[in-house]
Structure 1
């Protein structure tokens, strides 16, 4: 992926993980401003060209003047899009910096100087800005009245009802938390921290509790899911591995810090908001934290999860494989029965982080039932707080101020649009693409894919570390790699049968908390019942069309470009091709390359994780990637004085490097076939088309983050920070050196290039 969007068990490669950061403008004012600005531009351009007597005249679209030479305008693109794009760059570039010394500062210096991180965010970047625009569009679509002549699918009607119940703050306050507390007491065995000494430990049943939580998609200790079998991608199998931690990464538990103090205070404040009996709250909280601290040392980090050897067994052999007192066989039987699936002896179970599963089970044996019950209900409450009245959300916000530096909550409408989209993505996407997707993007991105596929094939052929056998099978894999562009086939048609079938059980009313329980229960049920269903390679999984993202699915050997990422600055039908190739072209190359990174290269053309390269080529690949790992290990994020983990980020770095090279060479090939078509941007005429390719790539990664956000990302994100996604990639390209006249060893140009692809 171009950004992170993964679950702990199965790994897809994603381009980015956006979130929304800015406040929305009223749509009518936006439209009016656009019209006035457009008319103003036309008038100014005409006056500048017809009446200017000086050497240069300027037009202003934003804060930066765009120079329009009176003579020789034939090679300039003066369309409204190009003028807007020119200002986009001129507001960002810092020309006091030599691009050969620090291309990131050259591309982003002025943007970084002027950009402000919104109070409801911990960072600010292109993806977040784009996702905010999409979310605002979704808000308008879900809240706008439906005309009497329109007959909408039931799925969309229910998406509207879910959104309406989510934004109805008055009803949420009135309903309170009785539904949640009743569920905890009647279904989960109660929360001891609220019941004090009256909690009855004799009723504790760990297997039953974990099963109930799993039915509501809560997997704290052990994660269970159904995914394509990595050894046989034509069928599903069971995956089980580590759950999650309240503080995300085990490093947070090593020493007492402001974050650990805030975390315990978070627990206490939630408990105090629910009970007047404070006699043993402090003791319970201390036990909860110490238990989580103890198990945290066995949780694998993202870096440790690379190239781990997965344990694969039959269901009949699970007990002997696990060798624990906790009955994992009984647990899986119960949880899959919720999806109306009866497990059989021959069902395949893939175990990840097996040592963690065993160690945590051993620790549980040594803990009191009260502590385990308290901890698991606390983690359930953490998941539910966004569905609770405002005072509970405010308590969470106090913790987030310390944990990730976010000082205020996002608007409720943004949160609700995100929630509905995450849970009813295709229903929302049908509305979105009908109004906001330009189908030109499908045709042009398909053409770009073919150019980039051809270039990557050439790169494989020219590789000096692969033998001929491995080259041939790698070329065949890239040849058959398929693509999903924009949205699923048929989503834009009048035939709604498939959409209605997907959401036939999704029926909502005015009670938000009841709707939340319904939707997470349905999501969990689907996760288990698909075990017996046939694989649908065309199904959209892990990404929604409204996510500003892209990904590669190794078990299906395909790439996905969402409708939401096929927009400026990644793509625009009116943009010069050098901008599109520097934007979405690099994304396409990035996802292609994931098929041949440390993980992707283990899957053959059919998506099966089997040896398909020779041992000599595998060993050579591992030698090549060492250079990339060491390169990024030596980058330090100056803002917090922490180094990047090159092991953890290796695949995304390999994909960035390969994707940028593929996109650049593909643009050159396109330009040779289509000479003299691309025109220059006003005010930027001194830059060549090839330089503008790199400038768009650099500008996309302009980013500002708060200190704690940077630290969290370095601990758990498999992507490098934006600055090093730019510098790391261009430093290995001789093509960049040629285009900007850089000398190897100068600034951000490496002498010894790290070349995997």
Structure 2
């Protein structure tokens, strides 16, 4: 996955590029929505008894009345719209109601004091300090903007838009300015960092590529819209709030936007990055200047950047150059641009994030712009926002609290069993494929067998020994200043990434994502799947759930992540995580023909109520292939389980008209029940590598013969395609 997001103001753009470069593919939960109110057992029994062909006495024998089954029946009953024919529109059938989004109950983990009589570990004390500094809005108001203005003037030589004609350009030095911001984890114009070497997964190389745009994607700049107007207004309003000298603001805003727009002309979209991956060049630090051939001295830039992490580069160190023509075109553009415009643009990129750290009147300016992007006025509670920030910054520390309070250890063992069943199911899919030649098929099966899994959390989090956590978070010592705490984190992250270059690759180590994340991941460079504790909960998984619900929920996620090893990107990596040719040319050609069917199919999807918003099949192809393959692998695994465990799964109260297989599909669809504004849908289609939730349901089910059989659909009905696209 390659996606761009800002959590709080912790810069995670580098991580986004890392995700793309090492092919770590998250599941991305657009909407996990369900109701948690419980219908009384007796009411459900009556509902069950009144169903067609049901007898009152059946409720005592065939119905599951456990607390979990009651909850599950409730959220599915609330979700299903029975006035819709499932064979015509399965998404609308499964997702008829507006449901609340589930999340890990994390607010109380940090706001409440430790109840343990023993002394709390220092890393947890520091996490609570960070959280308190975030929620202390009175202190943020009192501190005002002095800290940020001082940092700009003393460290970055000022923001011209605030200083009018008094700004002095004589001291401007582009390299120095970019390096100073790099120390705060800001990759502006150019992105650099340490990532797993794609050609040699046992080593780390330097990654160089394009950084993000202010509006994230090139398409936003192509026409004047309410978004571009709001973007310029954001710059203007922020500047006017921070200075009394407004003499040059209008001109500066125009020049900042125009420069950003000019950069965007050379910026590769996500779809172009996928399609042009073969244009990546691996070389050495000493040789890259010859390849790039720009006036900007990238070799000097890299040497000095890594020195901040106390890492000394040499000319033979490996560097992977991505989006090379971007470097050439933008470097030429920079050569023709004045120091004032460059200084204004680079500081704006920094300040648009810093706005979220400042007093409420300035945060409101940023929020107004973001509402234009999202198309909604809803704001997260401050406690939720701060919990999310701490989880991003110190996720493994927070996880120490979470797994002790919420995680059921039985989830690990049952998940392991499901992974093996679904792995075997996918192997069977590979084995039965008629388009792969035997050489490629044997290697593919070997790769599936070699996939390593991590479930729940790394073992050290379950230990009473906190040495690793104390060492990992030794530098995370905070005070009462929220903005200074965030800057400290950003500096730590920058140093850690540079130092990663000289550290050995630990292929068996748990991923960098904390266990509290409600998501799942595949890392092609490690051939590894990760299922954090956060996702092992309703509606994805529960140890007491009927297996048809678990396989339709977390089972599909497991299948999805396994299939990522064989999507358009993952299939390029061998079992050891190296991007090398390991399929025959004939098999690759047939794979490409099959994936093109998926691409074309998803390109024709459009948001039902707004037909002008169409999906981008080129951009979402990897996730679409994984969705289709994952659903099949999990369904076949459930079928095999059911054959060997007859009459174990009981029916859900109020839903006994539906078979176990139908409920498998219904729970799968329920995961993607989500309402989105037009702006949010447009933004996801433009910038995301995942299809909208509606398409993640209708695409895989309409391509699957077993769905047609389960619901009695006829070929050609709305949710049953005549021409089905099948990769796996």
Q: TM-score range by the shorter chain?
A: over 0.9
Paired position in structure 2 for 1:104: 91
> d(CA) in 2 for partners of 1:348 and 1:68?
71
Q: Structure 1's 148 and 613: CA in aligned 2 closer, same or farther, altered over 3 A?
A: closer
Unaligned runs of 5+ in 1: 59-66, 116-123
Q: Is the 8 A contact 1:20 1:414 kept in 2?
A: no
Find 2:138's aligned residue among 134, 157, 170.
170
Q: Is the 8 A contact 1:288 1:375 kept in 2?
A: yes
Question: Aligned pair 1:288/2:279, yes or no?
Answer: no
Paired position in structure 1 for 2:12: none
> d(CA) in 2 for partners of 1:684 and 1:434?
34
> d(CA) in 1 for partners of 2:3 and 2:713?
30
5 Å matches for 1:465-476? 465-476=435-446
Find 1:7's aligned residue among 16, 33, 39.
16
Measured after TM superposition, the shift of residue 409 of structure 1 is 2.8
Paired position in structure 2 for 1:300: 268
Paired position in structure 2 for 1:314: 284
Question: Aligned pair 1:606/2:605, yes or no?
Answer: no
Q: Secondary structure at the match of 1:190?
A: coil
Q: Is the 8 A contact 2:135 2:386 kept in 1?
A: yes
Question: Aligned pair 1:507/2:477, yes or no?
Answer: yes
> d(CA) in 1 for partners of 2:305 and 2:33?
38
Paired position in structure 1 for 2:224: 256
Paired position in structure 1 for 2:8: none
> d(CA) in 2 for partners of 1:695 and 1:595?
26
Paired position in structure 2 for 1:64: none
Measured after TM superposition, the shift of residue 147 of structure 1 is 3.5
> d(CA) in 1 for partners of 2:699 and 2:58?
40
Measured after TM superposition, the shift of residue 663 of structure 1 is 0.3
- CA offsets per residue over residues 668-716 of structure 1, 9 Å max, x none? 0001111110000011111111111001011111111001001101101
Q: Secondary structure at the match of 1:648?
A: helix
Q: Secondary structure at the match of 2:609?
A: coil
Find 2:633's aligned residue among 642, 662, 665.
662
Find 2:665's aligned residue among 668, 690, 694.
694
Question: Aligned pair 1:229/2:197, yes or no?
Answer: yes
Question: Aligned pair 1:677/2:648, yes or no?
Answer: yes
Q: Secondary structure at the match of 1:239?
A: strand
- Which stretch of the first structure deviates more once superposed, 3-12 or 306-315? 3-12
Question: Aligned pair 1:723/2:722, yes or no?
Answer: no
- CA offsets per residue over residues 72-125 of structure 1, 9 Å max, x none? 53111111211121111111111122111111111112x1xx45xxxxxxxx7x
- CA offsets per residue over residues 153-190 of structure 1, 9 Å max, x none? 21111111100111111111111121111111111111
Paired position in structure 2 for 1:185: 153
Q: Is the 8 A contact 1:227 1:236 kept in 2?
A: yes
TM-score by length of 2: 0.95
Find 1:617's aligned residue among 564, 577, 587.
587
Find 1:536's aligned residue among 494, 502, 506.
506
5 Å matches for 1:380-419? 380-419=350-389
TM-score by length of 1: 0.91
Q: Secondary structure at the match of 1:350?
A: strand
Q: Secondary structure at the match of 1:491?
A: helix
> d(CA) in 2 for partners of 1:752 and 1:173?
60
Measured after TM superposition, the shift of residue 2 of structure 1 is 12
Q: Secondary structure at the match of 2:193?
A: strand
Paired position in structure 1 for 2:527: 557
> d(CA) in 1 for partners of 2:4 and 2:637?
26
Q: Is the 8 A contact 2:2 2:689 kept in 1?
A: no
Measured after TM superposition, the shift of residue 20 of structure 1 is 10
Q: Structure 1's 17 and 694: CA in aligned 2 closer, same or farther, altered over 3 A?
A: closer
Q: Is the 8 A contact 2:255 2:341 kept in 1?
A: yes
> d(CA) in 1 for partners of 2:94 and 2:574?
38
Q: Is the 8 A contact 2:600 2:617 kept in 1?
A: yes
- CA offsets per residue over residues 201-259 of structure 1, 9 Å max, x none? 01001000001111101112011111110111111110010111111111111222211
Question: Aligned pair 1:240/2:233, yes or no?
Answer: no
Q: Secondary structure at the match of 1:556?
A: coil
Q: Secondary structure at the match of 1:552?
A: strand
Q: State the Cα RMSD in Å.
A: 2.2
Paired position in structure 2 for 1:63: none
Paired position in structure 2 for 1:420: 390
Q: Is the 8 A contact 2:521 2:561 kept in 1?
A: yes
Q: Structure 1's 542 and 708: CA in aligned 2 closer, same or farther, altered over 3 A?
A: farther
Q: Structure 1's 21 and 285: CA in aligned 2 closer, same or farther, altered over 3 A?
A: farther
Paired position in structure 1 for 2:9: none
Q: Secondary structure at the match of 1:571?
A: coil
- Which stretch of the first structure deviates more once superposed, 239-248 or 541-550? 541-550
Find 1:265's aligned residue among 233, 236, 250.
233
Q: Structure 1's 90 and 230: CA in aligned 2 closer, same or farther, altered over 3 A?
A: same
Q: Secondary structure at the match of 2:203?
A: strand
Paired position in structure 1 for 2:563: 593
Measured after TM superposition, the shift of residue 540 of structure 1 is 3.5
Q: Is the 8 A contact 1:3 1:17 kept in 2?
A: no
> d(CA) in 2 for partners of 1:203 and 1:9?
34
Q: Is the 8 A contact 1:266 1:399 kept in 2?
A: yes
Measured after TM superposition, the shift of residue 56 of structure 1 is 3.5
> d(CA) in 1 for partners of 2:710 and 2:114?
53
> d(CA) in 2 for partners of 1:677 and 1:639?
42
Paired position in structure 1 for 2:10: none
- CA offsets per residue over residues 18-65 of structure 1, 9 Å max, x none? 69999xx9xxxx9xxx8xx6xx936x36xx97xx8x99369xxxxxxx
Q: Is the 8 A contact 2:439 2:584 kept in 1?
A: yes
Paired position in structure 1 for 2:433: 463
Q: Is the 8 A contact 1:240 1:349 kept in 2?
A: yes
Find 1:16's aligned residue among 28, 44, 59.
28
> d(CA) in 1 for partners of 2:535 and 2:705?
29
Measured after TM superposition, the shift of residue 394 of structure 1 is 0.6
